Structures are given as structure tokens and as C-alpha cells.
């Protein structure tokens, strides 16, 4: 079935599929085992213009928006949900600049980001501010022409490998979430260093690190939008990035299903391929149905974003929560279809199960998404009554 994609989008999808099969699949197990960062793949993606996809043409991008981003992320994640994150995590880090950057800030950073000369990261989470994003403790104090940043960000995707970070800090802690501001911080800024690099269950090819700020002097012109806009910028960024995480989950699910189908066609028990058993066919059917439902939900949100829809918080949360659950379900079923072999590292599907798990946790847990969806439903009902 075609998804009524434009020629350009089909080109991006097919190119991503090719890169995934030819370049990523052969090295996925290596990066999973070693936890090294896949610089060779990032360089390939940069050479092949992947980092241009979601950036406006004016700044050296391809202007393919959210739909371009989700299609590329899905296909890359089909081969490895960890390696794809160097790419998707960069989109997350760039999102605040795309939405809230001044013309000067965009001119300064976007062309290099589009060229893939630097990766990006998004620093919101702190040890005491996870689901409760408004509880950020990091501070930003204006001192002449600079803001002085102090605090710690942790679990930051692309931490240690990115050169460009968007950081949320409190410029007016008395105001709570309304006192947060967003800053562009470059690697190498004095007072900015990297802390602990995490050793993770899955997405092991992705770099996850602590960012430490000790009297870090950030030029005043690196403030995004205005003081006090930090929480809103973070929320809007997450609204835009959640379909991207959903597409990472979708790719993981599709990759696990691909392996399960192939395995079931060739594995023989009781004198026949296990694919001839209804028990296996029903599993494959349930996996495929949920994947297709998730894909349509994600593409629907992405299309609406690209069409200029402003109110998609609920749908973005639905796409993220639903697809993350689908990825976990499908990857677990894939391991089941592989049986004992599925549990062994020698076979690919246990990695999909480990990679899938994080999609239910990061960029807002499944529980936070449900809370966002529930609140939106109640708000919609209330606005209809009044
Ligand atoms: N778009 C625009 N405005 C939003 C918004 C959105 N998506 N979400 C919240 N807001 C606004 C609210 O309208 C509210 O504005 P007012 O003060 O004017 O009424 C304000 O922000 C505070 O909203 P709320 O009361 O809902 O904030 P909470 O502190 O209860 O937290 C959640 C909201 C839980 C949704 C937020 O903290 C969250 O998303 N947490 C998860 C964080 C996350 O995903 N972390 C992952 C790491 S980042 S990769």
C-alpha cells in the first residue's frame, strides 16, 4: 500500500531503507556490544544529506518537515534503534532553534547543522526533574553580557558527541516553570563539561551522558526567544519530537516483525515451517495490525504538523504512547517466535526487545502521555459545554 507520499518523501524513505540495510544492519550488533558511538554511520548520513531533511531550505535544508523526519527515523530504526538516535536526537536538539530561534541564531547555526558538521542534544532532564519537567533546578543568572549557568543535566541523548545543545534553566526560580528559559550552549564553552556516560540496557549505540555546568558563561545572545519561555519551548519541542520517537518505536517494531516473518518461514518443527501453524500466523497478524495502526497515527500527526496545524499535543502523545507499546509488544512476540534462539544474543531479536523498552520511558513515559491525553480530552469536553 502506498501512503500517498510525495516523490521527494518516497526518495528519502527509500534512501533511508537502503542505508539501513547496507550500512547499519551489518554493524548494529557491533555497536550494541561495544557501546561505541557510530561516527562512521553519522558521517555517511551527513554525506547523504540526512541532517538537511527537517531544516528549512533557506538555511541549507530540504524542507521536508516532520513527515521527512519520521520516515527517515522509521527506516533507520528498522535496522538499529540505537544508531538511528544520533540522527533523531539531533532533530530534537535543533527543534527549539527551528521554532524559537531569531533570524541571527538560525543563520549562525542551521547551515552547519544541516551539513551534519555537528550533532545536537536537548537538555531538559535533571536528576530531580524527569517526568516533572517543571521542577528544573539548574539556574541561569544574568551577569552583564552573559548568563551564568549552574547545574546538572542527565540522561542527555547525544551528550558528549553533540556540539550544539539546547538547555533549559531557571532564570527566575521564584516563578516556577514560568521562570524557565532556553539557551543555546556550544561544546567547549568554559564551565561546561561532560559527566557520567551511561551504560544502558538498549539503544547502546546511542551516547547518553551527563552535562555539567559550573559557572558556565553563555553569551546573552544565546537566549532563545525571551526569558520565561523555557517551559513552553520545552513542551512545544516535545510535541514536535514525540512523533519522531514514535517513528523510532515504529521502525524497531517493523524490524522485529521482518525478522520474525523470515525466521518463521525457515524454521522447521514437526516436519514443517513454523509459519504454517496458525499460532504463529495469528501472532504475525496481530503484530502487523498494530504496526499498521501505529504507522497511520504517526503519519497523520506528521502531516498535520507540516500542514500548519497548531493544536496536536494530544495526537502527538497518542502516537508516542501507542507506538512505544506496540514496539514492546511486537519485539517481545518476535522473541517468542524465535523461541530459545530468540533469547540468545547470537540472534537479532533480543536487541529489538531491549531497544524497544526505552521508547516507553523517554521523551515522556507512557504514563505522562496518558496524562497529557486525558487532560486534553477533559479540556475539549469542557470547552464544548461552555
Ligand atoms: N503546549 C503548550 N503549552 C503547554 C503544553 C504544551 N504541550 N503543555 C503544558 N503547557 C502549558 C500549560 O497550558 C500551562 O500553562 P498555564 O500555566 O498558562 O496554564 C503550563 O504549561 C503548565 O502546564 P501543566 O500544568 O500541565 O504542567 P505540569 O507541571 O503539570 O507538567 C507535563 C506537564 C507532565 C505534561 C510535563 O511536565 C511533561 O511533559 N513532562 C514530561 C517531560 C518529558 O517528556 N521528559 C522527557 C525528557 S525530554 S527528552
Q: Is residue 125 part of a domain?
A: yes
So what's the pLDDT on residue 316? 98
Mutate to test the pocket of ligand 1, among 133, 233, 360 (most ligand atoms within 8 A of CB): 133
For the Cβ of 298 lying below 6 angstroms from any atom of ligand 1, the answer is no
* Grid cell in block for residue 190: 568554559
CA-based R_g, the chain, Å: 21
If asked whether residues 184 and 171 sit together in one domain, one would say yes
Reference 123, options 213, 205, 37, 50; nearest CA is 213
Q: What are phi and psi of 196, to 5 degrees?
A: -60, 135
For the Cβ of 134 lying below 6 angstroms from any atom of ligand 1, the answer is yes
In this predicted structure, the answer to whether residue 386 has a pLDDT above a threshold of 70 is: no
Provide the number of structural domains found in the chain.
3
So what's the pLDDT on residue 354? 98
Return d(Cα 256, Cα 331) in angstroms, integer. Answer: 5
Ligand 1, atom 49: nearest CA belongs to which residue?
A: 363
Q: Are strands 120-123 and 272-273 parallel, antiparallel or unpaired?
A: unpaired
Please say which residue of 100, 119, 138 terminates a domain.
Answer: 119
For the Cβ of 317 lying below 6 angstroms from any atom of ligand 1, the answer is no
**Cα of 367 to ligand 1 centre, how many Å?**
14
Q: Is residue 220 part of a domain?
A: yes
If asked whether residues 30 and 49 sit together in one domain, one would say yes
Mutate to test the pocket of ligand 1, among 96, 100, 121, 134 (most ligand atoms within 8 A of CB): 134
Provide the domain limits for residue 12: 7-119
Q: What is the pLDDT of residues 199-238, one digit of tens each?
A: 999 999 999 999 999 999 999 999 999 999 999 999 999 9
If asked whether residues 55 and 26 sit together in one domain, one would say yes
Residue pointed to by grid coordinates 531544516: 55
Q: What is the pLDDT of residues 107-137, one digit of tens each?
A: 999 999 999 999 999 999 999 999 999 999 9
If asked whether residues 128 and 61 sit together in one domain, one would say no
Res. 65 pLDDT band, cuts 50 70 90: very high
Bridge partners for 143 per DSSP = 146
So what's the pLDDT on residue 90? 98
Reduced to 3 DSSP states, what percent helix, strand and coil does the chain have, rounded to the nearest 5? 60, 15, 25
Ligand 1, atom 43: nearest CA belongs to which residue?
A: 364
Q: Is residue 198 part of a domain?
A: yes
If asked whether residues 235 and 381 sit together in one domain, one would say yes
Return d(Cα 283, Cα 91) in angstroms, integer. Answer: 34
If asked whether residues 28 and 108 sit together in one domain, one would say yes
For the Cβ of 133 lying below 6 angstroms from any atom of ligand 1, the answer is yes
Return d(Cα 222, Cα 215) in angstroms, integer. Answer: 16
In this predicted structure, the answer to whether residue 94 has a pLDDT above a threshold of 70 is: yes
If asked whether residues 270 and 381 sit together in one domain, one would say yes
Active-site positions read 363
User: What CA dihedral angle connects 72, 75, 78 and 83, to 10 degrees?
Assistant: -40
Ligand 1, atom 11: nearest CA belongs to which residue?
A: 232
pTM of the model: 0.97
Task: From the CA of 234, give the closest atom in ligand 1.
Answer: 48
Return d(Cα 32, Cα 292) in angstroms, integer. Answer: 27
**Cα of 364 to ligand 1 centre, how many Å?**
11
Q: What is the pLDDT of residues 326-359, one digit of tens each?
A: 999 999 999 999 999 999 999 999 999 999 999 9
The CATH code of the domain that includes 290 is 1.20.140.10
Q: What is the pLDDT of residues 273-306, one digit of tens each?
A: 999 999 999 999 999 999 999 999 999 999 999 9
Torsion sign, CA atoms 314, 315, 320, 321: positive
Ligand 1, atom 6: nearest CA belongs to which residue?
A: 235
**Cα of 317 to ligand 1 centre, how many Å?**
12
If asked whether residues 108 and 28 sit together in one domain, one would say yes
**Cα of 123 to ligand 1 centre, how many Å?**
16
Please say which residue of 181, 199, 228 terminates a domain.
Answer: 228
For the Cβ of 11 lying below 6 angstroms from any atom of ligand 1, the answer is no
Mapped onto helix, strand or coil, the DSSP state of residue 151 is strand
So what's the pLDDT on residue 2? 83
Task: From the CA of 122, give the closest atom in ligand 1.
Answer: 49
Please say which residue of 101, 119, 137 terminates a domain.
Answer: 119
Residue 76 and residue 20 in contact, taking contact as beta carbons nearer than 8 Å: yes
The CATH code of the domain that includes 76 is 1.10.540.10
Q: Is residue 137 part of a domain?
A: yes
Q: Is residue 375 part of a domain?
A: yes
If asked whether residues 161 and 91 sit together in one domain, one would say no
How much of the chain exceeds pLDDT 90, in percent?
Answer: 99
If asked whether residues 364 and 256 sit together in one domain, one would say yes
For the Cβ of 195 lying below 6 angstroms from any atom of ligand 1, the answer is no
Residue 296 and residue 221 in contact, taking contact as beta carbons nearer than 8 Å: no
Mean pLDDT confidence for 78-84: 98
Residue 216 and residue 153 in contact, taking contact as beta carbons nearer than 8 Å: no
Task: From the CA of 135, give the closest atom in ligand 1.
Answer: 29
Res. 27 pLDDT band, cuts 50 70 90: very high
Q: Is residue 2 part of a domain?
A: no
For the Cβ of 21 lying below 6 angstroms from any atom of ligand 1, the answer is no
Which residues contact residue 213 at a Cβ distance below 8 angstroms, ignoring those fewer than 6 apart?
Answer: 138, 149, 150, 151, 152, 153, 167, 169, 185, 191, 192
Q: Is residue 1 part of a domain?
A: no
Write down the mean pLDDT value for the chain: 97
Res. 20 pLDDT band, cuts 50 70 90: very high
Return d(Cα 153, Cα 105) in angstroms, integer. Answer: 23
The CATH code of the domain that includes 216 is 2.40.110.10
In this predicted structure, the answer to whether residue 320 has a pLDDT above a threshold of 70 is: yes
* Grid cell in block for residue 216: 558556565
If asked whether residues 132 and 222 sit together in one domain, one would say yes
Residue 18 and residue 77 in contact, taking contact as beta carbons nearer than 8 Å: no
Mutate to test the pocket of ligand 1, among 203, 235, 367, 378 (most ligand atoms within 8 A of CB): 235
If asked whether residues 343 and 219 sit together in one domain, one would say no
Amino acid at each position: 500500500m502506498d501512503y500517498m507520499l510525495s516523490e521527494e518523501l518516497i526518495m528519502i524513505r527509500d534512501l533511508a531503507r537502503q542505508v539501513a540495510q547496507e550500512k547499519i544492519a551489518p554493524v548494529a550488533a557491533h555497536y550494541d556490544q561495544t557501546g561505541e558511538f557510530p561516527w562512521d554511520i553519522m558521517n555517511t548520513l551527513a554525506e547523504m544529506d540526512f541532517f538537511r531533511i527537517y531544516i528549512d531550505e533557506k538555511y541549507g535544508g530540504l524542507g521536508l518537515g516532520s513527515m521527512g523526519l519520521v520516515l527517515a527515523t522509521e527506516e533507520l530504526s528498522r535496522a538499529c534503534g540505537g544508531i538511528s538516535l544520533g540522527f533523531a536526537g539531533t532533530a530534537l536538539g535543533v527543534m527549539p532553534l527551528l521554532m524559537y530561534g531569531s533570524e541571527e541564531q538560525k543563520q549562525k547555526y542551521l547551515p552547519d547543522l544541516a551539513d551534519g558538521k555537528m550533532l545536537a542534544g536537548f537538555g531538559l532532564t535533571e536528576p530531580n526533574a524527569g517526568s516533572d519537567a517543571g521542577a528544573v533546578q539548574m539556574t541561569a543568572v544574568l551577569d552583564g553580557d552573559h548568563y551564568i549557568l549552574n547545574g546538572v543535566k542527565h540522561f542527555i541523548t547525544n551528550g558528549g558527541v553533540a556540539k550544539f545543545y539546547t538547555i533549559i534553566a531557571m532564570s527566575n526560580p521564584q516563578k516556577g516553570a514560568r521562570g524557565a528559559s532556553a539557551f543555546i550552549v556550544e561544546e567547549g564553552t568554559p564551565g561546561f563539561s561532560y559527566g557520567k556516560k551511561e551504560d544502558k540496557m538498549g539503544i547502546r549505540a546511542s551516547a547518553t551522558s551527563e552535562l555539567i555546568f559550573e559557572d558556565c558563561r553563555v553569551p546573552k545572545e544565546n537566549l532563545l526567544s525571551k526569558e520565561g519561555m523555557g517551559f513552553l519551548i520545552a513542551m512545544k519541542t516535545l510535541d514536535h519530537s514525540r512523533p519522531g520517537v514514535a517513528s523510532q518505536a515504529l521502525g524497531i517494531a517493523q524490524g522485529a516483525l521482518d525478522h520474525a516473518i523470515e525466521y518463521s518461514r525457515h524454521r522447521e518443527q514437526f516436519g514443517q515451517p513454523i509459519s504454517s501453524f496458525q499460532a504463529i500466523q495469528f501472532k504475525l497478524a496481530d503484530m502487523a495490525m498494530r504496526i499498521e495502526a501505529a504507522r497511520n497515527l504517526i503519519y497523520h500527526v506528521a502531516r498535520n504538523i507540516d500542514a500548519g496545524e497548531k493544536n496536536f499535543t494530544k495526537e502527538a502523545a497518542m502516537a508516542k504512547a501507542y507506538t512505544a507499546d506496540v514496539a514492546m509488544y511486537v519485539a517481545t512476540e518476535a522473541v517468542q517466535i524465535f523461541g530459545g534462539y530468540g533469547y540468545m544474543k547470537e540472534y537479532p531479536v533480543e536487541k529489538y526487545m531491549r531497544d524497544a523498552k526505552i521508547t516507553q520511558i523517554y521523551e515522556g513515559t507512557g504514563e505522562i502521555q496518558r496524562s497529557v491525553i486525558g487532560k486534553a480530552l477533559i479540556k475539549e469536553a469542557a470547552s464544548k459545554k461552555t
